[in-house]
Amino acid sequence: MTGATDVAIALLLGGGIGVGAWCVAAALPSWRTPALVRRVGPYVRDVTDPAGTTLADAITDPTAALAGGVGSLWRRGQAKFARILGGAESLELRLAQAGRTPDVAAFRGSQLVWGLAGLGIGAAIVVAMMTAGRMSVAAIAVPFIAAAAGVVARDLLLSAAARSRVARIEEELPTVLEFLALCLSAGEGVLGSVRRVADVGTGELTAELRAATIEVDTGATLTDALTAMTRRIKAPVLTRAIDHAVAAIERGSPLAETLEAQASDAREDAKRALIETAGRKEILMMIPLVFGLLPLSVLFAIFPGVAILQQGF
């Protein structure tokens, strides 16, 4: 076991020295300096490359990968990891539903961090097993399993956050629609009503309305901003309500009545969803009753009689 212990200690010391050397090298200012071709290129591009299409391929220096610093290497690693995993459209949708910036490369980078953390934890477990003398062939797969678990766990957390935020938006929808209808009934304009709700209200849906008003301020129409919001969130209840509201705005129909009707429909949908959830929870509540409480009651009823029979009474 001395050899395994020596290997484990060597791995720990070597890993610590490597991490320290990498931190020292990353802190060097020369590594953060852009390459010469990238600093001079914008000033001579009109002569050498007017379109700017070959500047990225003009770097032939073998140390050019380090010239951009550790951040450049990390961004390249993020992009390559994102290309390996794929699924950019689905990931962008879930990021938008979770209220985060739809940057696929950044999220893949966070997944890579989780995977590396899992790999490090798995390697630490293997080292601990080697030190304790319980090393086996199957333990070699522990770091890779931990790395895959870290990547998958990060993706599952994003999916859970997206579902939770969409559920909160659907819960807030009836109240927001009624508030909009109240503002319209009081004589406020459509854009003014949306802006008032976005400024006064709190919650996920009002944050999306606030983003829609910002798009309107930058030149988009209100209907286009609301439609883009529904495409970004992909919540069926919200999409149906916004589609009816946009149709009422374009046709000149009474918008306040339309919003009140959509609020009523949203509340009915919420009631149906609540009843369905209660039905599923009712079945789940039977599991501890049938497999836990009922056998225990039978055991309490039978055990005294069995004990008396064993004593010969």
Domain ranges in the chain are 2-33+68-165, 168-268
Rg (CA), the chain: 30
Q: What is the pLDDT of residue 62?
A: 43
Which long-range CB contacts under 8 A does 242-251 form with residues at least 24 apart? 249/190, 249/222, 249/223, 250/223
Q: What is the pLDDT of residue 58?
A: 42
Query: H or E stretch including 141?
Result: none
HSE (side-chain half, CA atoms, 13 Å) at 274: 8
Structure tokens at 236: 């069926």
Q: What is the pLDDT of residue 29?
A: 59
Q: What is the pLDDT of residue 65?
A: 47
Q: Tokens 């791995």 belong to which residue?
A: 11
Residue 247's closest CA among 231, 226, 268? 226
Q: What is the pLDDT of residue 55?
A: 44
Inter-residue contact 176 to 209 (CB < 8 Å): yes
Query: H or E stretch including 62?
Result: none
Angle between helices 142-185 and 236-251 (to 10 degrees): 30
Structure tokens at 124: 């630490």
Structure tokens at 155: 């993706």
Question: Per-residue pLDDT for the chain (313 aa), expressed as one digit of tens each?
Answer: 466 667 667 777 777 887 888 777 766 655 556 666 667 766 665 555 554 444 444 444 444 444 444 555 556 665 665 566 656 778 888 888 888 877 777 888 888 888 888 888 888 888 888 877 777 777 788 888 888 888 889 888 998 999 899 888 888 888 888 888 888 888 888 888 888 888 887 888 888 888 888 888 888 888 888 888 888 888 888 888 888 888 888 887 778 888 888 888 888 888 888 888 877 777 777 888 788 888 888 888 887 777 777 776 5
Fold of 168-268: Receptor-associated Protein (1.20.81)
Angle between helices 69-85 and 104-132 (to 10 degrees): 90
Our CA dihedral for 216, 226, 161, 91, rounded to 10 degrees, sits at -90
Inter-residue contact 255 to 248 (CB < 8 Å): yes
Classify each residue of 63-89 as buried b or exposed e, where b means 16 or more C-beta atoms within 10 Å of its C-beta: ebebbbbbebeeeeebeebbeeeeeee
